[in-house]
Amino acid sequence: MGSKVSFKSAISGVDFPEKERVYGHQIRQTVLNLIQKDHPDFKHNDCISNSELNIYREKYISKYLQTEVGELSELQEKVLKSLSNGKSLVSKVEYEKDNRTFGQKIADKVADFGGSWTFIISFFVFILIWIGSNVYILLNKGFDPYPFILLNLILSCLAALQAPIIMMSQNRQEEKDRARAKKDYMINLKSELEIRLIDDKLDHLIQHQQQELIEIQKVQIEMMNDILERIKK
């Protein structure tokens, strides 16, 4: 059985499989600068492994974020951690738990009902029945004759209670919107960084394929030269 082809990394001295080989001239210059900063002797013809290159790519991304926005925020740290671990951020958005308290649920239901046509129509009917029963049925001698002081008191109390309940629901909705906005930002940032990594990997893949094609062409030229020499003989 033949031994597996391997190479020694120029920065760590560790042996890696041949498929992990990346030459210095195949690396993006910005990432190469980081490698040469830690390893000044690293040249364009030297080799490192793809896993080592990914470490420096992450360092470059972290440095890029710090340059653009200053200190990394907690959200950006989470994005970098998710990027290095390969975990998804979308699941955190799609599967939100209902952590509302009983009071918050009541406030949401009151706000939903208070802002519906059902409430408007039913309350309008209630007022008509109240006024009609006191004016026409009880001939203005009922429990709340004109000018309907009791009805005004009920309406005032209802407005006083309904307003803060609706504000509670709106404040909670704003908190949810802010949380969604943060998660959207994290997903967009991760997408941008992943596109940068994909671009680097595509560059490496294209250059690697070009080298393989050149090697194949060299072999084919050698074969053609051998054939020509045989024909001449």
HSE value, Cβ hemisphere, 13 Å, CA-based, for 215: 6
Can you tell me the distance from the alpha carbon of 107 to that of 17, in angstroms, rounded to the nearest whole number? 62
Domain ranges of the chain: 1-72, 102-185
Which tokens hold the place of 112?
A: 């939903």
**pLDDT score of 125:** 93
**pLDDT score of 110:** 83
- For the chain, first and last CA: distance in Å? 38
Distance between alpha carbon 175 and the CA centroid of its chain, in Å? 18
**pLDDT score of 29:** 80
**pLDDT score of 17:** 86
**pLDDT score of 95:** 47
Residues of the chain with pLDDT under 70: 1-4, 64-98, 200-201, 203-205, 207-213, 215-216, 219-220, 222-223, 226, 230, 233
The answer to whether 82 and 89 have CB atoms below 8 angstroms apart is yes
